[in-house]
Amino acid sequence: MIDEDETFDRLVAAARAQLAAGVSLEEIMAFLRREGLWQLQSIKVLRWATGVGLAEAKHLIHTSATWADQRRAADELHEVLTQAITDLVDSIDADGCVDLTDYQTGPDLVGS
């Protein structure tokens, strides 16, 4: 969606207008999400609309209530992957081999 210049320009203009009208950044981020933008796309619009740097825009999106569900999901995935890597490294034998027969694969790895 955001790849189209016209849509990007429209969303930046809308976000700027909302800022000028005193709308909070949280409400603007919610607007961008309702418009169908992903986090990375929202960061891009937020940067252009507000003039903040990349790090600040990423922080605003990552810590916002609007994207809290995505942050929780990413954190949970990070924990699962970290544990899986730790378990895998711990299972390396003296020859540098790993017995993968006990490892679960497929969509149930992360949990449903």
CA distance 84 to 34: 35
Examine the domain organization and report whether 62 and 73 are in the same domain.
Answer: no
Q: How many domains does the chain have?
A: 2
Q: Note the pLDDT of residue 93.
A: 78
- Say whether pLDDT at 2 is over 60: no
Report residue 88's pLDDT band, with 50, 70 and 90 as the boundaries: confident
Q: Are residues 34 and 19 in the same domain?
A: yes
pLDDT tens digits, one per residue of 16-66:
999 999 999 999 999 999 999 999 999 999 999 999 999 999 999 999 999
Amino acid at 49: A
Report field, pTM of the whole predicted structure over 0.85: no
| One domain for residues 76 and 87 | yes
Q: Assess whether 76 and 58 both reside in one domain.
A: no
Q: Are 48 and 99 contained in the same domain?
A: no
Range of the domain at 37: 5-66
Q: Are residues 60 and 74 in the same domain?
A: no
| Same domain (yes/no): 15, 51 | yes
Give CA separation, 57 vs 35, 51, 60, 77, 109, in Å: 18, 9, 5, 23, 32
- Number of residues written out for the chain: 112
